[in-house]
């Protein structure tokens, strides 16, 4: 039987799909040649649920195994409708080869920790999952109820995985998790100590971090941004810059503590990204104006903007939906333009950059520097190569060399 894995959602799902691929011998290149399709789903928004249902409807001529976060929110319904032949919880992904003939629903609990590691990867970088679950209770988020409480993967498992991959030519590692900044709180260590040990592994050239909470960025981690291996770019989730909105969203961060943190990091030459939700219930014109004035003070160079949409099963979905879609769209555009300008100014400082070439398209090569800015290069190098670039042109959206 040939198996195709379709992945939706976050980097943790990307990692989980790679683990499943390592467990299977007969992988299909696409849906057409597959006998079984494993759908590794996302359920972070109602739109995600809709997209996955559309995908499943399209491939009803195949046997579908449904797993991922969506297994907990729409798995039973899809199974009862006869849309999928099996629904599996997260803990069974590492044993996916044992469930290819399974029919039914088995979700299990959230007490598991990943033990499987990547043994084969066909890209120039590797996503390394270090943590599962989340103990935060943000009003808009469904993830804690579909991923469980925060728990750390054993340090020895992570170190062995990175050593193996580094010995086999992988030089860039992207650490990921559901709330990865909480790594180690259940095992007596922390994220910074893990990064330090990973940085000391022979062959590791760059470490990138996924999203962090402001409270999780400590002095030990900040110091490591200067070691030449940890990327000089931190993505720190704010979600909003109005304290009243942060209270409504049940966020733990406040402007008076996060703004000085961002200013300190920027003074150290670190590029800064964040997540921001516009249009959440309660975002009145007055609160938006306050948020915008505060936002302009943050030295942000990258941003992921999300226009709020209600997620069934969350506290926010029960609130009055009082921000029209066109208003939210306009607000998102305003923030986007501010950060775009900041990023251009940041890149215009013109400093030597270390670029990891990751892609080739239309006769050009593309990669990212240590500040997570994209570089376009003439085809004088090879995919996977590391290039020190000193002469380049700063364009509106990208740096261009050669």
Helix (H) or strand (E) holding 345: helix 325-347
Helix (H) or strand (E) holding 152: strand 151-152
Domain end residue (candidates: 72, 106, 140): 106
The answer as to whether 138 is a domain residue is no
Number of domains making up the chain: 2
pTM: 0.90
Cα distances from 280 to residues 9, 187, 311, 331, in angstroms, run 21, 35, 11, 12
Helix (H) or strand (E) holding 300: none
Give the pLDDT of the chain (402 residues) as one tens digit per residue: 899 999 999 989 999 999 999 899 899 999 999 999 999 999 998 889 999 999 999 999 999 999 999 999 999 999 999 999 999 999 999 999 999 999 999 999 888 777 777 766 767 899 999 999 999 999 999 999 999 999 999 999 999 999 999 999 999 999 999 999 999 999 999 999 999 999 999 999 999 999 999 999 999 999 999 999 999 999 999 999 999 999 999 999 999 999 999 999 999 999 999 999 999 999 999 999 999 999 999 999 999 999 999 999 999 999 999 999 999 999 999 999 999 999 999 999 999 999 999 999 999 999 999 999 999 998 888 889 999 999 999 999 999 997
Per-residue model confidence (pLDDT) at position 122: 61
The answer as to whether 96 is a domain residue is yes
Domain end residue (candidates: 106, 125, 155): 106
Say which residues have a Cβ less than 8 Å from residue 250's Cβ, sequence separation at least 6.
137, 138, 139, 315
Q: Measured between alpha carbons, how far is 137 from 249 in angstroms, rounded to an integer? A: 9
Locate all alpha helices (DSSP H) within 102-218, ordered by sequence: 143-147, 155-167, 191-199
Residue in the structure block whose two tokens are 């109005």: 242
The answer as to whether 304 is a domain residue is no
Instruction: Identify the CATH number of the domain in which residue 362 sits.
Output: 2.40.50
The answer as to whether 52 is a domain residue is yes
Q: Measured between alpha carbons, how far is 259 from 267 in angstroms, rounded to an integer? A: 12
Locate all alpha helices (DSSP H) within 44-169, ordered by sequence: 46-58, 75-80, 143-147, 155-167
* β-bridge mates for residue 388, sequence order: 354
Q: Is 57 helix (H, G, I), strand (E, B) or coil?
A: helix
For residue 358, give the nearest of 126, 142, 156, 70 by alpha carbon. 126
DSSP E strands, 70-143: 86-88, 104-106, 125-132
Q: Measured between alpha carbons, how far is 277 from 213 in angstroms, rounded to an integer? A: 15
Its domain, for residue 17, covers 3-106
The answer as to whether 48 is a domain residue is yes
Burial of 210 (0-12, 13-18, 19+ CB in 10 A): buried
Locate all alpha helices (DSSP H) within 116-254, ordered by sequence: 143-147, 155-167, 191-199, 219-224, 243-248
Instruction: Identify the CATH number of the domain in which residue 61 sits.
Output: 3.40.50.12160
Question: What is the strand order of the sheet 125-132 is part of?
Answer: 151-152, 125-132, 172-177, 206-209
Neighbours of 19 (CB within 10 A): 18
Q: Measured between alpha carbons, how far is 194 from 189 in angstroms, rounded to an integer? A: 8
The answer as to whether 336 is a domain residue is no
Question: Phi/psi at 275 (nearest 5 deg)?
Answer: -105, 145
Please give the structure tokens belonging to residue 366. Answer: 């593309």
Residue in the structure block whose two tokens are 């929110």: 73
Domain end residue (candidates: 79, 106, 133): 106
Q: Measured between alpha carbons, how far is 17 from 129 in angstroms, rounded to an integer? A: 11
Contact 19, 114 (CB under 8 A): yes
Q: Measured between alpha carbons, how far is 20 from 6 in angstroms, rounded to an integer? A: 11
The answer as to whether 47 is a domain residue is yes
The answer as to whether 375 is a domain residue is yes
Say which residues have a Cβ less than 8 Å from residue 91's Cβ, sequence separation at least 6.
108, 109, 110, 112
């Amino acid at each position: 039987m040939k198996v195709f894995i379709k992945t939706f959602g976050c980097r943790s799902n990307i990692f989980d799909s790679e683990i499943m691929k390592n467990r299977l011998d007969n992988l299909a290149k696409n849906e057409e040649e597959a006998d079984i399709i494993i759908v590794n789903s996302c359920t972070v928004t109602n739109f995600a649920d809709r997209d996955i249902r559309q995908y499943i409807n399209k491939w009803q001529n195949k046997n579908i195994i449904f797993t991922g976060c969506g297994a907990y929110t729409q798995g039973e319904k899809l199974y009862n409708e006869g849309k999928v032949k099996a629904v599996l919880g997260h803990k069974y992904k590492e044993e996916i080869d044992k469930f290819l003939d399974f029919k039914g629903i088995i979700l299990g609990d959230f007490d598991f920790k990943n033990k499987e590691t990547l043994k084969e990867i066909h890209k120039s970088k590797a996503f390394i999952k270090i943590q599962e679950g989340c103990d935060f209770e943000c009003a808009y988020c469904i993830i804690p109820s579909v991923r469980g409480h925060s728990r750390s993967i054993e340090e020895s498992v992570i170190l062995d995985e990175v050593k193996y991959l580094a010995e086999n030519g992988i030089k860039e590692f992207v650490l990921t998790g559901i709330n990865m900044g909480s790594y180690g709180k259940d095992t007596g260590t922390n994220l910074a100590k893990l990064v330090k040990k990973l940085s000391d592994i022979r062959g590791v050239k760059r470490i990138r971090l996924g999203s962090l909470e402001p409270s999780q960025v400590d002095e030990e981690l900040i110091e490591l941004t200067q070691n030449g291996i940890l990327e000089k770019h931190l993505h720190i989730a704010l979600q909003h810059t109005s304290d009243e909105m942060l209270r409504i969203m049940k966020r733990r961060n406040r402007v008076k503590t996060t703004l000085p943190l961002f200013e300190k990091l920027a003074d150290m030459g670190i590029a800064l990204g964040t997540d921001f939700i516009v249009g959440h219930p309660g975002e009145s014109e007055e609160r938006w104006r306050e948020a915008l004035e505060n936002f302009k003070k943050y030295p942000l160079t990258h941003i992921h903007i999300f226009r709020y949409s209600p997620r069934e099963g969350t506290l926010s979905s029960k609130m009055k939906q009082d921000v029209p879609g066109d208003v939210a769209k306009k607000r998102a555009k305003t923030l986007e333009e501010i950060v775009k300008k900041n990023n251009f100014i940041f890149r215009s400082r013109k400093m030597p950059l270390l670029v990891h070439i990751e892609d080739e398209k239309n006769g050009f090569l593309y990669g990212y520097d240590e500040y997570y800015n994209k570089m376009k290069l003439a085809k004088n190098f090879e995919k996977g190569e590391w290039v020190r670039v000193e002469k380049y042109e700063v364009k509106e959206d990208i740096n261009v060399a050669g």
